[in-house]
Structure 1
Amino acid sequence: MSAQKRRAAVLGSPIAHSLSPVLHRAAYGELGLGDWSYDRFEINETALPEFIGKLGPEWAGLSLTMPLKRAVIPLLDEVSETAAAVEAVNTVVFADDGRRTGDNTDVPGMVAALREHGIEQVESAAILGAGATASSALAALARICTGEVVAYVRSDARAAEMRQWGERLDVAVRTADWADAKEALGAPLVIATTPAGATDDLAGSLPERPATLFDVLYDPWPTTLAARWSAYGGAVVSGLDLLVHQAVLQVEQMTGCASAPLDAMRRAGERALAER
């Protein structure tokens, strides 16, 4: 399908753990893009401008992870409405004329992952954590949540940030102290955006019939909370679900193919995680 060799890659620091090469290469294989390659590069904020400035015309796009999602914005010619809303770019696409366009596929990826599990709309939700992923979660909830979102955070500064994001995204956000996070577990949808181990202590406080947990982690998996949630009969959406759905959108934008192979990409991700 490809007339010339094309390149793409994921950038970040640390980057060795990234599953993006596995997912994108699986997509290229299914799509018959034999001349496409996808790599990973350890790049921090300081090195990013020089790296992007040296890229040649063979480059189709970049995936970005922490700490580059905000740092890349000044280097771009255009930023999508979604990426601008959360001040985070995880996808850069290079046009034939060299223009650099940034987008955020995490937000629609979250919505798609929830939809795949039958969650089209919720009356309220809870977010555990207040980092960069939490802002994307709020943007996703702006599309599917009709009522209040309660964010459980560890500091007043984080609480203020989440309320500001809520105002910006037109989401009704109430903040609560992390010490009360067990109260979140009865929400129709709980989105855990915290680092590994942060929610382990909550696993012993689940209600008899929990609803839906979206835990953005994928390695190690399942988390203690996700495992207990499933044991209690609740629905669980994993970080791999998110990773695959956002990668599908990246592949489609970078290659111009109308439909990336979701199932093949998921299988490749599952195999890679099983081998770790």
Structure 2
Amino acid sequence: MREFGLIGRTLRHSFSQTYFTQKFHNLDLADHQYELFELGTIEELPALLNEHPNLCGLNVTIPYKEKVWPFLTRVAPSAARVGAINTIEFTQDGYLIGHNTDMVGFRDSVKTFLPPGFTGRALVLGSGGGSKAVEVALRDLEIGYWVVSRNPLGQGLTYDDLTPEVMREHPLIINTTPLGTFPDEHECPPIPYDTLTSQHYLYDLIYNPRETEFMKRGLAVGAQAKNGFEMLCIQAEEAWKIWNTKL
């Protein structure tokens, strides 16, 4: 049995198990399975590995994309560049290698969302592991941005800094926080929604629910909005390639 899975603290919202289970069925891989592993702390990871000797790969989600680093043998260039890990490769010689496929997932997804020739700037809501992947993708796309968080480090912004002028100058707004994830669907990042217009593009990394409160408030004023389902699919396929490169 080849076993794969997702580690995180709360995984009720995750679609990864459904995605990979369907993939295994489509490929007639009866000896493959994908499980959800909720860990109270990342320090529980070694025990999980001992209990599941058939693990061949793991995905990593909130809040362990940065905390898992010390438990790995080494990191691939993709993870080193982003500074966060969402995929773990298990090598035949027992090594654990951290990768990041979120960056490619977001980059390729947002390119299909924005209009051709988009030249605006972006606001990246949140400063966790997902934010780091988004930042690298935006730099690759040559889109300028500010990171917005409650307690910004360096040159970031706080939510109190989001004046009407700042909102007008940043038509692309990306939610990388978990606010609005099932089952807390009523939550949303505290941006000034009354300053949104039909010229704004709202991208939410959340995909459950399909339409978040963040997206709803943008759509209500004619803005464009997209959830993270396509990003999930792209990054999952990239992870599958990593797990099977030597087969």
Q: Please say whether Structure 1 and Structure 2 have the same fold, judged by a TM-score greater than 0.5.
A: yes
The separation in 1 between residues aligned to 2:12 and 2:19, in whole angstroms, is: 14
Contact 1:203 1:224 in 2 (8 A): no
- Counterpart in 2 of 1:159? 153
- Counterpart in 2 of 1:150? 146
- Give how far 1:245 is off: 1.9
The separation in 2 between residues aligned to 1:121 and 1:95, in whole angstroms, is: 42
Which of the numbers 181, 204, 208 marks the counterpart of 1:219?
208
* Corresponding position: 1:190 with 2:173: yes
- Give how far 1:254 is off: 1.9
Which of the numbers 65, 68, 77 marks the counterpart of 1:72?
68
- Counterpart in 2 of 1:271? none
- Counterpart in 2 of 1:46? 43
Which residue type is aligned with residue 37 of structure 1? Q
- Counterpart in 2 of 1:84? 80
- Give how far 1:102 is off: 1.0
* Corresponding position: 1:229 with 2:218: yes
Cα separation, partners in 2 of 1:257 and 1:114, compared to 1, 3 Å:
farther
Which of the numbers 112, 117, 129 marks the counterpart of 1:132?
129
- Counterpart in 2 of 1:176? 157
**Identity over the aligned pairs, expressed in percent?**
26
Which residue type is aligned with residue 179 of structure 1? D
Contact 1:122 1:144 in 2 (8 A): no
Which of the numbers 2, 5, 25 marks the counterpart of 1:6?
2
**What secondary structure is seen at the aligned counterpart in 1 of 2:43?**
coil
Alpha-carbon RMSD across the aligned residues, in angstroms, is 2.6
Which residue type is aligned with residue 69 of structure 1? K
The separation in 1 between residues aligned to 2:246 and 2:23, in whole angstroms, is: 10
Q: Tell me the number of residue pairs that the alignment of Structure 1 and Structure 2 aligns.
A: 236
The separation in 2 between residues aligned to 1:151 and 1:179, in whole angstroms, is: 13
Cα separation, partners in 2 of 1:91 and 1:242, compared to 1, 3 Å:
same
- Give how far 1:240 is off: 1.9
Unpaired segments ≥5 residues, structure 1: 164-174, 259-276
**What secondary structure is seen at the aligned counterpart in 1 of 2:24?**
helix
Q: Which of the pair has the greater relative contact order for Cα pairs under 8 Å at 6+ separation?
A: 1
The separation in 1 between residues aligned to 2:128 and 2:68, in whole angstroms, is: 18
Cα separation, partners in 2 of 1:127 and 1:53, compared to 1, 3 Å:
same
Cα separation, partners in 2 of 1:227 and 1:202, compared to 1, 3 Å:
same
TM-score, length-scaled by structure 1: 0.75
Cα separation, partners in 2 of 1:159 and 1:22, compared to 1, 3 Å:
same
**Structure 1 range deviating more: 212-221 or 195-204:** 195-204
- Counterpart in 2 of 1:252? 241
Which of the numbers 177, 181, 192 marks the counterpart of 1:202?
192
**What secondary structure is seen at the aligned counterpart in 2 of 1:159?**
coil
**What secondary structure is seen at the aligned counterpart in 1 of 2:17?**
helix
Cα separation, partners in 2 of 1:205 and 1:180, compared to 1, 3 Å:
same
**Residue by residue, what CA displacement relative to the aligned partner does 1:88-136 show, whole Å, maximum 9, x if unpaired?**
1111111222222110111111012112335677532221232332222
> Which structure's residues are more often helix, by fraction?
1
Which residue type is aligned with residue 175 of structure 2? A
- Give how far 1:256 is off: 4.2
TM-score, length-scaled by structure 2: 0.83
Contact 2:5 2:57 in 1 (8 A): yes
- Counterpart in 2 of 1:29? 25
